[in-house]
Amino acid sequence: VSTTVEVLYFDIRGRAEPIRLLLEDVGVAYEDKQISLEEWPAIRETTPFRRLPVYTAGDVQIPESFAIMNHLGREHGLLGEDEAARIRCDVTVEAWRDYGNRVANTFGALSKSEADRRAFLETEQPALLADLEAYYLARGTDAPYWAGTAPTIADFAAFHLLEGVANQLPELMVRFGALKEFHDAFAERPRIKAYLTSPRRPAALFYGPDGKIYPRRR
Ligand SMILES: N[C@@H](CCC(=O)N[C@@H](CS)C(=O)NCC(=O)O)C(=O)O
């Protein structure tokens, strides 16, 4: 008996993208329900926290993107091979989540002034990426993963946010050779590679103040 798996989110990559990447990589068939902002008011009141994404598998409904990631991590053995890897997985997820929230606050729909955006780009973002790269380099293995010698949910979270850097700020990406190496290696995973260029993948990265933000280059 196969359970119907559905990811409900907006028609952008956004907070659903690590979930989509994970499902693609493990080869689970899922329905990717992408709604427009016009459709949202009608759906909003049916969701537990009036937010998306919401994941459904049969009778199981889960809001909160990282509750979904943790659930899928338990199902597919993607939470770390030992306690050291589990700790690194948790730390990596939290650190990239903070980074992602700062990017969203700066460039998203309720984004700040041009001066704040410039300050973020010039100072805060490179500093955050430098810290993340230092953490990645201290992983104590040559394996191209953030936590241990096998993929974890942290890799999907990190890869998604690095996709944003690779697409929008290639000149910043080249300053972080190890992050770029991780990104490029992860992009070569066969199912990830197929997904990245598939029509299934939403073209837009996220919603900015004036509508959807698309990759500068691909
Ligand atoms: N902590 C939540 C945040 C969810 C969230 O902020 N969703 C936004 C889109 S990225 C949303 O649904 N906004 C619509 C609204 O607030 O009306 C998660 O990680 O899933």
- Looking only at the bridges linking them, the beta strands covering 206-208 and 211-213 are antiparallel
Q: How far is CA 54 from CA 65, 67, 96, 164, 188, in A?
A: 8, 10, 20, 22, 28
Q: How far is it, in rounded angstroms, from Cα 68 to Cα 122?
A: 33
Q: Which two tokens stand for residue 10?
A: 């907006």
| Residue 1 pLDDT level (bands cut at 50, 70, 90) | low
pLDDT band at 110 (very low <50, low <70, confident <90, very high): confident
The tens digit of pLDDT for each residue in 151-186 reads 999 999 999 999 999 999 999 999 999 999 999 999
Residue 218 Cα, ligand 1 centroid: separation in angstroms? 26
Q: Which ligand 1 atom is nearest residue 65's CA?
A: 20
Give me the residue label for tokens 């907006």.
10
Q: List pLDDT tens digits, range 74-97.
A: 999 999 999 999 999 999 999 999
State which of 39, 51, 69, 93 you would mutate to test the pocket of ligand 1, scoring each by most atoms of that ligand within 8 A of its C-beta: 51
Residues in the chain: 218
Q: Is the CB of 191 under 6 A from ligand 1?
A: no
Distance CA 74, CA 16 (A): 18
Q: 2-28: per-residue pLDDT in tens?
A: 789 999 999 999 999 999 999 999 999
Residue nearest atom 15 in ligand 1 by C-alpha distance? 51
Does the C-beta of 65 come closer than 6 Å to ligand 1?
yes
**For residues 128 and 99, is the Cβ–Cβ distance under 8 A?**
yes
